[in-house]
Amino acid sequence: MQDDLKLKNYAPGTVGQYLSCARRFVEHFGISPVSLGEEAVRKYVLQMAEQRSPATVKMHVAAIRFLYEVTLRSPEVVVGVHFPKVPHRLPDILSLDEVRRLLEAVEPPIYRAVLMTAYGAGMRISEACSLLTTDIDSGRGVIHVRQGKRNRDRYVMLSAVRLAMCEAKARAGITKRVTPHSLRHAFATHLLEDGADIRTIQALLGHGSIRSTARYTQVSVAHICKTRSPLDRLPAPTGGEGGKATP
């Protein structure tokens, strides 16, 4: 299964998660998954759905489906195993001042540079951690975000960056839920509030679908406040006797 995941170019983090979920699934039954049928798999997922969050169950279902569909070549076993509906949660968005305070509080400087790059270019934190000097085209003023397979050692820095950001959050006195990915959310939201076209933001974020980018219109307070309500376009109420407006 590990080889199949690598051949399909899954990210190292995803490979680890899938293997962990598959390992737990096999240990639960104590027998080879080849011996299990659809009903056993469905009962396992149902039991997990009663104990875990939809997001966790979704990850386990994805791993189990990959195990049977790709590695074991037995897709019929998981044909009735579906992904749970995960509630859509809007992210907390940092204000410009909160971003400034957060970045100023990051130590040491190398982690501040990584996080500033992530915010300044709207990059995923893994992309920022994987940048090489050759990826920066100073002449054209652009960064080449490579989508090719990364070596595992490129991600060693990631956990240290998360820790540095967590400590900076405390020093900056920020109470919002913040992760390194919050800077990507802030990048998109601040561009939108500054009047950038949503298609441009889509291209900068590397979203394949405009629907992924459109969610930032739901969390931008400034964007919402600038939107005129249809109620404001209605004509004024007709006055009653003596030209006075009716209550």
Catalytic status, residue 23 = no
pLDDT: is 53 or 244 the higher one? 53
Active-site option among 124, 150, 154, 162: 124
Question: Contact 71/8 with Cβ under 8 angstroms?
Answer: no
Catalytic status, residue 60 = no
Whether the pLDDT of residue 84 is over 70: the answer is yes
Catalytic status, residue 82 = no
Catalytic status, residue 211 = no
Fold of the CATH domain 96-226: hpI Integrase; Chain A (1.10.443)
The pLDDT, as a whole number, for residue 89 is: 79
Question: Contact 217/202 with Cβ under 8 angstroms?
Answer: no
Domains 2-78 and 96-226 share a fold: no
Catalytic status, residue 124 = yes
Model confidence at 246, in pLDDT bands (50, 70, 90)? very low
Query: Could you tell me what percent of the chain has a pLDDT over 90?
Result: 51
Give the pair of three-digit tokens for residue 233.
């376009």
pLDDT in tens, 159-189: 788 899 999 999 999 999 999 899 999 999 9
**Which superfamily does CATH assign the domain made up of 2-78 to?**
Tyrosine recombinase, N-terminal domain (1.10.150.130)
Active-site option among 60, 65, 169, 184: 184
Helix (H, G, I), strand (E, B) or coil at 45: helix
**Listed residue (125, 129, 127, 183) closest to 156, CA to CA:** 129
Active-site option among 28, 146, 149, 226: 149
**How far are the Cα atoms of 75, 170, 190, 192 from residue 217, in angstroms, in the given order?**
39, 28, 11, 8
Model confidence at 146, in pLDDT bands (50, 70, 90)? low
Model confidence at 104, in pLDDT bands (50, 70, 90)? very high
pLDDT in tens, 24-77: 999 999 999 999 999 999 999 999 999 999 999 999 999 999 999 999 999 999
Helix (H, G, I), strand (E, B) or coil at 143: strand
pLDDT: is 30 or 143 the higher one? 30
Whether the pLDDT of residue 191 is over 60: the answer is yes
**How far are the Cα atoms of 94, 112, 128, 226 from residue 164, in angstroms, in the given order?**
17, 9, 15, 36
Active-site option among 42, 150, 162, 207: 207
State residue 213 phi and psi, 5-degree precision: -80, -35
Catalytic status, residue 207 = yes
Whether the pLDDT of residue 217 is over 90: the answer is no
Active-site option among 24, 42, 154, 181: 181
Going from N- to C-terminal start, the domains of the chain cover 2-78, 96-226
